[in-house]
Structure 1
């Protein structure tokens, strides 16, 4: 569940290198300048560090770095990959980066192109580098807070606070928008209410205008209708010379007498009888219409006024007279919507207040626990520092809750958390990243990791010369602590101390060689004999004696 393979090609002074990593403690040794830190530089680049063209091996156009991680059981890593749609093969994560001399760098996650920011974000979940390095987590306030929270065991409460904080921020943003909208809508509401008052005064009904048009046409043309209908009745039915029904009746009778001579005249007779019936019906209808026509000037004036009212209202609202009822309903709907938006700020304010109460309750409980655990964790780290060559040193975790009446909502609660350190007895406590040297910072990181390793979830921990500047006794303790840490995480340590190297469960030796093609670094995973020789060299220098070899064998045997 950690780093399994690293492939490097044309990076710095490395031509080509492939290495497999095991669980537990892996130590990396070699002469000064051999390129031990290049491994860290390569990992750092894979995890999102800035790439410079001079990192490419001289004479080459690009370098390529690839790391394969086993992510079984790493729920945070798997969730991150799923969230970003970058899931690869089951339980595997492949990171690749290509740095080119004259072209932009390329980044890949599980063979899918990705961004540098994504590499960095995922890198924080996979690897934690400690030492004289820009990627060291202990210098970041966010990671100091994370260390304390994970040790406190209230990660669930932190997640709940983050969810509440996110919702509060979203609603506060919406509140600001809706407050402005309410101000902008005030004039609109006033205008619509005025327009609706006009509609209510007119009280237009569905289909009214069409009915008015029919009645207006009839009243406005009453005399013409009367004259025309009377003339039609007279000429068709009342004229003594030409009476349509009488004449048609006579001809039907005459043709009926002839049907016995030609039966086909039966159809003609039926058609004429049908025509006679329709003519009679038409005559009846004309008389009915004539009787209904009323020359009523007063009613005509009423119709004209009502019609003009609807025409003017339709013109004002830029719609047809028939569409006035629909326009009325649309204004009612718009007014309801605007009024609902106008009342939204009050609803949002109440909802935000309730959420802040819930947030404050959780945040205060978290703060109280942070303060209790900070005291305990500070004492344990300080005790570890004494064994790691920092006699009289002290680390104190300061937890400062907000004291303002109005709590500032953040994802991580109401506390400012800072690691303060004094590296010598009697010296005042100061911020960790401004006080400790690189080596001291590495040892403090080691102390923290040893204590918190069972509660922290970063699978691979790397320590760069964590033993710098310490003597043999402290180096022995540093090695012991690293080996203990290897029981809970994969640990890689670059070291110059034989006491540390002897405790490794895997030993990598890096050397720099030159040939006709140039200078490059080589890497070897040492077997038992190779380890004896390397630790003897670390003990006594280039000349390896029987005594240094025996001492090296003794150190290795003691740590089996």
Structure 2
């Protein structure tokens, strides 16, 4: 439950610290005294939107701190533990609003996001605002109330995710279908291009081998001529060649060696040279025998290379890039084929997703119908005691099975008959402001009974209610406070008299500033405040006696 709130420089509050107790606490005060400002400040610590205008005039920043005592098994304690923010059995929320910048959020002294603050806040406090009866006219708000009472959050999340999945599939399907005509034209072109290139088979290794073979074939005649010329020089020329000249030189050196032994090594060198020249001649002869000078093969190679050059020009690439270009075209063609297969697969996925969605949405509808029957009976019973004797209440659920949305098949309408004999009609057509307030309060009390939130706040939800009905409302709220903390901002003395604790708001005006203060009342002060609420400006002894009677004191 909420145990303490500290407010500095917020709205028209300069500084305020309040300790809170369990049971039912009422907040009263003159109109404009700032009764709801404390609730607004608390809402800021729970993740509500903060604005720079909330900073007290002349101050640089506003700061609000709310301290909660937690049950270790509570949803809030589990949330804190899951986010590594737990601190014994206490939770301290702090919000700082800077005049010229963004606000900062803290949980147990650690900086967090506003989203985290709001997520935790749902487990700590449930605030029923003073305009709840107006929002009740909205069909979406009515559906939200029903789902909240039915605890459909997990099922709603599953339905929403399923609807998003369908929307994603439909988007992909639409895109593929829109591109189908263009894709078919491209598919036809690529099929022709790939087939044409495939016939030529421009693989990188094949092209490299072809170019090498063509180079060999194109130069075979030149290579044969050069080889034969070399062989002529070495041996084949009958008139003069290297080996004949070398033989003459060897004969002369042999004679020289007989005359001078020093010439013998030179003679041996010539013998080695002769052996090398013979080897060279033999190698050249073997090389010449291997040369293939086939004009027909050269022509075939010319034709193949010409084909590749033509294809390269046609596809605007050079011949070396042709293999890579061929590979890209095949990849694109395969992708287009995959797209066609994906379109067929999407149809299957869409059918499966729709079946899943219908199953979840149907379960959600059944939950709603079951809980709606229970809730409408409880509301009808509750409004009987709120000056609507003979009134009827019904929750109408309209199924639209073809609808695909995050909230399922259903649309909802709260129907009411405020007086006996009148037909049931939508709230916005028949209910007066006072009747709306009573119905809204009945729903708030009933739904609050189902919630595990330890603190419930009713901010002027008893507008348009008075007399005996207001007393009934007070007793309802006090009964609700048996197992949780209830805080109620009220103008009704009958409601205020039912509180276990009583705070009064007052506004103090100074020369250059105005501030709101809040005081915890003792029994004597409560009698005076209830008397003021009953009697206005002039508080008579009779009025005070009535106030004592309402409070059950002598």
> Is the pair's TM-score, using the shorter chain for normalization, greater than 0.5?
yes
Q: Give the C-alpha shift of residue 323 in structure 1.
A: 4.5
Q: Give the C-alpha shift of residue 445 in structure 1.
A: 2.8
- Measured against aligned partners, the alpha-carbon deviations of 1:207-245 in whole angstroms (never above 9, x if no partner) come to 333333333334333332222111111213445553299
What does 1:69-218 correspond to in 2, within 5 Å? 70=68, 92=91, 94=93, 96=95, 98=97, 100=99, 106-110=102-106, 128-130=126-128, 132-133=130-131, 138-218=136-216
What does 1:6-25 correspond to in 2, within 5 Å? 6-12=6-12, 14-25=13-24
Q: Give the C-alpha shift of residue 120 in structure 1.
A: 8.0
Please name the residue that 2:348 is paired with: 350
Q: Does residue 1:330 correspond to 2:325, yes or no?
A: no
Distance, in Å, in 1 between the alignment partners of 2:275 and 2:542 is 141
* Native 8 Å contact 1:449 1:485 kept in 2: no
With the length of structure 2 as denominator, give the TM-score of the two structures.
Answer: 0.80
* Native 8 Å contact 1:248 1:276 kept in 2: no
Q: Give the C-alpha shift of residue 310 in structure 1.
A: 1.5
- Measured against aligned partners, the alpha-carbon deviations of 1:479-510 in whole angstroms (never above 9, x if no partner) come to 22112323455422112334322332332111
Distance, in Å, in 2 between the alignment partners of 1:524 and 1:269 is 131
Q: What are the ranges of 5 or more consecutive residues in structure 2 without an aligned counterpart?
A: none
- Measured against aligned partners, the alpha-carbon deviations of 1:346-398 in whole angstroms (never above 9, x if no partner) come to 21122111221222123223323422332321121011112123333333211
Please name the residue that 2:548 is paired with: 552
* Native 8 Å contact 2:231 2:281 kept in 1: yes
* Native 8 Å contact 1:499 1:555 kept in 2: no
Pick one of 506, 512, 520 that aligns with 1:511: 506
Q: Provide closer, same or farther for how the CA distance between residues 436 and 545 of structure 1 changes in structure 2, counting only shifts above 3 A.
A: same
Please say which of residues 239-248 and 503-512 is displaced more in the overlay: 239-248
Please name the residue that 1:231 is paired with: 229
- SS of residue matched to 1:207: helix
Please name the residue that 2:441 is paired with: 446
* Native 8 Å contact 1:42 1:65 kept in 2: no
* Native 8 Å contact 2:235 2:241 kept in 1: no
Please name the residue that 2:243 is paired with: 243
* Native 8 Å contact 1:382 1:393 kept in 2: yes
* Native 8 Å contact 1:130 1:442 kept in 2: no
Please say which of residues 422-431 and 155-164 is displaced more in the overlay: 422-431
Q: Give the C-alpha shift of residue 409 in structure 1.
A: 0.9
* Native 8 Å contact 2:7 2:14 kept in 1: no
- SS of residue matched to 1:294: coil
Please name the residue that 2:295 is paired with: 297
* Native 8 Å contact 1:11 1:63 kept in 2: no
Pick one of 487, 492, 501 that aligns with 1:492: 487
Q: Provide closer, same or farther for how the CA distance between residues 489 and 532 of structure 1 changes in structure 2, counting only shifts above 3 A.
A: same
* Native 8 Å contact 2:159 2:357 kept in 1: yes
Distance, in Å, in 1 between the alignment partners of 2:121 and 2:244 is 105
- SS of residue matched to 1:399: strand
Please say which of residues 341-350 and 468-477 is displaced more in the overlay: 468-477
Q: Provide closer, same or farther for how the CA distance between residues 45 and 270 of structure 1 changes in structure 2, counting only shifts above 3 A.
A: farther
Distance, in Å, in 2 between the alignment partners of 1:221 and 1:439 is 109
Q: Give the C-alpha shift of residue 5 in structure 1.
A: 2.0
Pick one of 389, 399, 414 that aligns with 2:387: 389
* Native 8 Å contact 1:245 1:280 kept in 2: no
Distance, in Å, in 2 between the alignment partners of 1:249 and 1:548 is 154
- Measured against aligned partners, the alpha-carbon deviations of 1:37-91 in whole angstroms (never above 9, x if no partner) come to 33345456776468585x665x636662525364966759987999xxx986657
Distance, in Å, in 2 between the alignment partners of 1:161 and 1:199 is 51
Please name the residue that 1:39 is paired with: 38
Q: Provide closer, same or farther for how the CA distance between residues 134 and 543 of structure 1 changes in structure 2, counting only shifts above 3 A.
A: closer
Distance, in Å, in 1 between the alignment partners of 2:269 and 2:476 is 121
Please say which of residues 420-429 and 190-199 is displaced more in the overlay: 420-429
Aligned residues: 536
Pick one of 392, 414, 420 that aligns with 1:419: 414
Q: Provide closer, same or farther for how the CA distance between residues 459 and 394 of structure 1 changes in structure 2, counting only shifts above 3 A.
A: farther
